[in-house]
Chain A
């Protein structure tokens, strides 16, 4: 069978084998998840049930229910001082992953050089590649806490460079940036006339300082596509509901692809998302508090047992270096799951520069984390 050359080239590589191994195993302690361990707060679930009972089972406007878009606009205004018009600057998507795909396809022309940090979320590279662009990696390492530098961005720019992707707090490194650091990035973006795709899905899980949306920086609102969603802050991964905000021209074109592929996000998820914005703030704070304690615990413990770990500023991941163990990322993960039944994700899943690291999620109960640390330390002593 003839498969599209481009699609054929997007290969999940050796990671697939590892996944199949893990998914087939029982009694695994998993630090391999990319989602909260909390179940969606009851008030939000109850709203979803209620809306089903009330017969909310139809399509909605392609852009998403106007009531939800208004609610998002109001939330962004009071939370961050962001100003987006719910009529034509906010698009409701099936998770922020869909929003990322839409923006890739909307802004990319062949020959464009796209700057993508690395290690970074698994979808970025393939989605740009499928959209016909050449992603260019901006590599970060543990030595500078996985932070991009303005110089690095500037140096990577040439006349074909049109787009910069940033993600903070980041999956898989947990890195985030202060307003001061982001201001430096915005200066480069201005100087090089870049459009910035800012994936801020973990924004509510920022522990050491206030989160600053990129679009709030001077001159950046018109140059930024802001991506966010409900999965991480409200533990709503299974609802698949996210959104994109940006200049109306970009949103207009993104919506064209969205209307032909998704039509609209699920109405039940949209109803639940509205409830999350209205009454979910308290649950978010409770979850954040819990994550913060786990972060302190796991960073300390991993360093203690000999895995160099940078303390992440946000999200619920740590990205320890496993270089001193002599294993490759994949072998570390494979041996750890086989010998001690602890699941972690090899760093190479997040791009070649993830070699030498593994991702561990602390979105797991403290009892699980304690047991996992015990097993990993036994594994390291072998």
Chain B
């Protein structure tokens, strides 16, 4: 992966000027590369990672992992059904996986009831969906390489040789 992408993935607030210094490229070049990445859909969007565990909000919603077994379709395989499923706004992530089931979904809803009714009323009755298993998430420890507990770290002395 291009170093510029690697840098942005870690900190999207960095300006093209700062990135240019870090990778030893002209600012104009960095700017045009970023523009191109945006145009090509390689950079999709810039967002902030919020540690919702720290917000302690009663109504922060629930998430569930859902295993879905499906019957693949002639000519389109799993793609057609996957698309019908991932278009629901309740579906936060959708993966095709190997193993004893086919699709792995992450569903978000405001409470257990919302998620269950999505599964019961929308997902399970779909033609060619052969079965679902729902796992409600109880606690998040680490997400996208980010440990969610604030790291307590011994402080380095401010001066050492």
Chain A residues packing against B (C-beta within 8 Å): 18-19, 22-23, 25, 28, 30, 32-35, 37, 39, 121-123, 171, 293-294, 296-297, 300-301, 343, 345, 349, 366, 370
Contact = CB atoms under 8 A, between A and B. Distances in A.
Contact of A297 (B21, B153, B158): B21
Interface in B121-161: 153, 156-161
Interface in B1-23: 3, 7, 11, 14, 18, 21-23
B161 A293 contact: no
Number of contact residues on B: which range applies?
10 to 19
A19 B160 CA distance: 9
Contacts of B18: 297, 366, 370
The 4 closest A-B pairs by CB, nearest first: A293-B22, A30-B158, A32-B159, A34-B160
Contacts of B56: none
B159 A122 contact: no
Contacts of B23: 293, 296
Contact of A23 (B14, B153, B157): B157
A349 B21 contact: no
Report which residue of A25, A28, A294, A297 has the largest number of chain B beta carbons within 10 angstroms of its beta carbon.
Answer: A297
Contact of A22 (B153, B156, B158, B161): B158
Interface of B: 3, 7, 11, 14, 18, 21-24, 153, 156-161
Given A22-B158, A28-B158, A39 B153 contact: yes
A161 B161 CA distance: 28
Report which residue of A28, A123, A296, A343 has the largest number of chain B beta carbons within 10 angstroms of its beta carbon.
Answer: A296
Contacts of A39: 153
A123 B161 CA distance: 9
A19 B161 CA distance: 11
Contacts of B3: 293
A35 B160 CA distance: 8
Contacts of B11: 366
A32 B160 contact: yes
B158 A33 contact: yes
Interface of B is mostly: loop
Nearest to A20: B159
Nearest to A300: B21
A23 B158 contact: yes
A296 B24 contact: yes
Contacts of B21: 296-297, 300-301
A32 B158 contact: yes
Nearest to B6: A289
Given A296-B21, A296-B23, A300-B21, A33 B160 contact: yes
A343 B158 contact: yes
Nearest to B18: A297
B73 to A, nearest CB: 41
A225 to B, nearest CB: 21
Contacts of A294: 22
A121 B159 contact: no
B153 A33 contact: no
Contact of B7 (A28, A123, A293): A293
B137 to A, nearest CB: 24
Contacts of A121: 161
A123 B158 CA distance: 19
B159 A23 contact: yes
A37 B156 contact: yes
22 contacts: A22-B158, A23-B158, A23-B159, A25-B158, A28-B158, A30-B158, A32-B159, A33-B156, A33-B158, A33-B159, A33-B160, A34-B160, A293-B22, A296-B22, A296-B24, A300-B21, A301-B21, A343-B158, A343-B159, A345-B161, A366-B14, A370-B18
A33 B24 contact: no
Given A300-B21, A343-B158, 18 more contacts: A19-B159, A23-B157, A23-B159, A33-B159, A33-B160, A35-B160, A123-B161, A171-B161, A293-B22, A293-B23, A296-B23, A297-B22, A301-B21, A345-B159, A349-B161, A366-B11, A366-B14, A370-B18
Contacts of B161: 34, 121-123, 171, 345, 349
A183 B159 CA distance: 35
Contacts of A32: 158-160
A17 B161 CA distance: 15
Contact of B156 (A35, A297, A345): A35
Contacts of B158: 22-23, 25, 28, 30, 32-33, 343
